[in-house]
Structure 1
């Protein structure tokens, strides 16, 4: 049995708490003899800045480069609002994405039937929702140069961020979207702002050309990002796979997250290109932030972190069967009425982080034994 090398970067805020629940699942899998793990842990974000003066150390990045999968909790918090911009907690996450060349961010938005009434939309709009946002992650306005604030002769200042995309960056993310669609609903919606942005016009042209070069069996539609945002809250189930750039992907995936009832429910995967052995660099993290207001209180929702482990099992660790069972265990836990505060409503059992993690582990173990 091959040993899987896993790097855990718990990070800041509620990160260590939700990561603790993932450790329970990993220990359960290994205890059943289903997989062998070599686990390393390190710092990222504000805690790394406190320890090393940077948001992630070179040593931690080297560990990430050698890992079969990296699991990350969350970064940031008001404690670090005054640190130099280049050392802000989020810089650690951005460096991981860039150094590991994690260009493809997969953000599923799934509404579990038991949570349909927790959504801000009517049940009939979200019940059964299962869409995937494929976000380009290493280009665009977050990484384009120049990126600066400059002083002008008249005493004013000018802030500059540059949106830049090259053909190959758009081609490779489009291929990921088309290939994912083939094992889902076979529909891709590409989104940009080609009406006002030259980079959006290029995006549209390249996605269209890529579609014609071997993916014409997949239905392709194009939609402006602002219109797509509106449609996501009007009729979200019309979508299967949405592919978009770094900025719009950031915004639209957060919109989609609220369709499911809570940010605490959504995992994500960030993947690099396949190597000669078919392996990819990878990073898995919940979409939610560090939630410093509830950190240390034991009330955070760990389900997105646990679901991120399920994505790692599916996309990096070669265990899609275990991934499916873990997702099913999450669903059963919700059906049995367990709720953390962010998804709780009258009539359900309100639990904390550890109790929710225990409930998932118990159901996962039962499914493994079935």
Structure 2
């Protein structure tokens, strides 16, 4: 299996290096995997004048999966929009038709005190957020900024278009219902149907689709209420499915229930389970190069890659078990450290996971 490795910007190279070491260890044990690096994001802009260069496009299309660190940083904030690092991330998702983003929010028992919520509220938390990734207001046309006559004077006006087709909603719904069948058989669809016609269609299609899954319970929740319920009673959820913009916000909110976004992996899949795997966190430029970033989310993303794109459940569980063992030993990077635990850096955490493997 061929993996395109995109270290990206900020802490990306540091955390990806540890995930690559894990995959290389598994390869030594017989896993048939080939790793090939390429550029995406700000580093690609600097080196090739594009956030998603042609060489990266070619490799990503040929690969069976993509492992990504993170993109972005303040040094590119003033670039023209087409040369912003984030455009590379949007472009590769669109290019590979990665329409389904899976973000688990799992609270490891050893990290119960890391959450800002009371342990009884989050203990045993295990949510899967399924976010549609290639439609919605992020990609809708028309869009832009121009001068218009408003209130009797010329001023700048910006606009974006929220748009979803029935087929886009149906295919992400299927991903959510299929995932729920392997979990606790409950899907909560999140929308804003009381205001937005786009999401009224979303709800209508989800209701129609639910007839194909009589063994899965479907519920609905408005996005503002869902945001509140995630911090009030998060364990009521099993699988949450929602659109691109709402999913972007809710998945980050859910990640913090676990104490640190540095612990949470994600997968973005196409219809054939080819995927891009990345930690849920960003490039954290403030700690880049300091060797203190938490690599566990990236390592767990590699485990998701083994599960979803390679169909190797045994290898995925082996990696996840190694992470659990390291946490049980009391090793912590700074973002999850607490009194009585041993603070370690990025490389040391990677060493510990390899030892546990």
**Residue aligning to 2:338:** 345
User: Secondary structure, in 3 states, of the residue corresponding to 1:178?
Assistant: helix
**Residue aligning to 2:228:** 230
Query: Contact conserved, 1:48 with 1:56, CA < 8 A, in 2?
Result: yes
Query: Contact conserved, 1:105 with 1:136, CA < 8 A, in 2?
Result: yes
State the alpha-carbon separation in 2 of the partners of residues 28 and 333 from structure 1. Answer: 17
The number of residues matched between the two structures is: 354
State the alpha-carbon separation in 1 of the partners of residues 228 and 110 from structure 2. Answer: 25
State the alpha-carbon separation in 2 of the partners of residues 312 and 281 from structure 1. Answer: 9
Query: Contact conserved, 1:181 with 1:218, CA < 8 A, in 2?
Result: yes
State the alpha-carbon separation in 2 of the partners of residues 182 and 311 from structure 1. Answer: 18
**Residue aligning to 1:251:** 249
Say whether residues 1:261 and 2:254 are aligned partners. Answer: no
**Residue aligning to 1:116:** 112
Runs of 4 or more above 3 Å deviation: none
Measured against aligned partners, the alpha-carbon deviations of 1:205-242 in whole angstroms (never above 9, x if no partner) come to 00100111x11210000000110110000111111000
State the alpha-carbon separation in 2 of the partners of residues 334 and 294 from structure 1. Answer: 22
TM-score by length of 2: 0.98
State the alpha-carbon separation in 2 of the partners of residues 332 and 230 from structure 1. Answer: 33
Correspondence list, 1:276-287, <5 A: 280-287=273-280
Offset of residue 193 of structure 1:
0.2
Correspondence list, 1:280-299, <5 A: 280-299=273-292
User: Paired residue for 2:134, among 110, 131, 138?
Assistant: 138
Offset of residue 155 of structure 1:
2.4
**Residue aligning to 1:49:** 45
Measured against aligned partners, the alpha-carbon deviations of 1:260-313 in whole angstroms (never above 9, x if no partner) come to 110101100000012xxxxx3210000100000000000000000000000000
**Residue aligning to 1:8:** 5
State the alpha-carbon separation in 1 of the partners of residues 124 and 336 from structure 2. Answer: 17
User: Secondary structure, in 3 states, of the residue corresponding to 1:109?
Assistant: strand
Which segment drifts farther, 245-254 or 52-61?
Answer: 52-61
Say whether residues 1:148 and 2:141 are aligned partners. Answer: no
State the alpha-carbon separation in 1 of the partners of residues 291 and 174 from structure 2. Answer: 41
Measured against aligned partners, the alpha-carbon deviations of 1:85-118 in whole angstroms (never above 9, x if no partner) come to 0110000010111010000000000000000100
State the alpha-carbon separation in 1 of the partners of residues 86 and 265 from structure 2. Answer: 18
Q: Which runs of 5+ in 2 are unaligned?
A: none
State the alpha-carbon separation in 2 of the partners of residues 193 and 37 from structure 1. Answer: 43
Cα RMSD after superposing both structures: 0.7
Correspondence list, 1:45-194, <5 A: 45-153=41-149, 154-194=153-193
Which segment drifts farther, 349-358 or 153-162?
Answer: 153-162
**Residue aligning to 1:195:** 194
Say whether residues 1:314 and 2:312 are aligned partners. Answer: no
Measured against aligned partners, the alpha-carbon deviations of 1:332-362 in whole angstroms (never above 9, x if no partner) come to 1111100000111111100000001111111
State the alpha-carbon separation in 2 of the partners of residues 126 and 67 from structure 1. Answer: 38
User: Secondary structure, in 3 states, of the residue corresponding to 1:301?
Assistant: coil
Measured against aligned partners, the alpha-carbon deviations of 1:108-135 in whole angstroms (never above 9, x if no partner) come to 0000000010001011111111110000
Offset of residue 258 of structure 1:
0.3
State the alpha-carbon separation in 1 of the partners of residues 136 and 8 from structure 2. Answer: 25
User: Secondary structure, in 3 states, of the residue corresponding to 1:47?
Assistant: helix
State the alpha-carbon separation in 1 of the partners of residues 262 and 213 from structure 2. Answer: 34
Offset of residue 257 of structure 1:
0.4
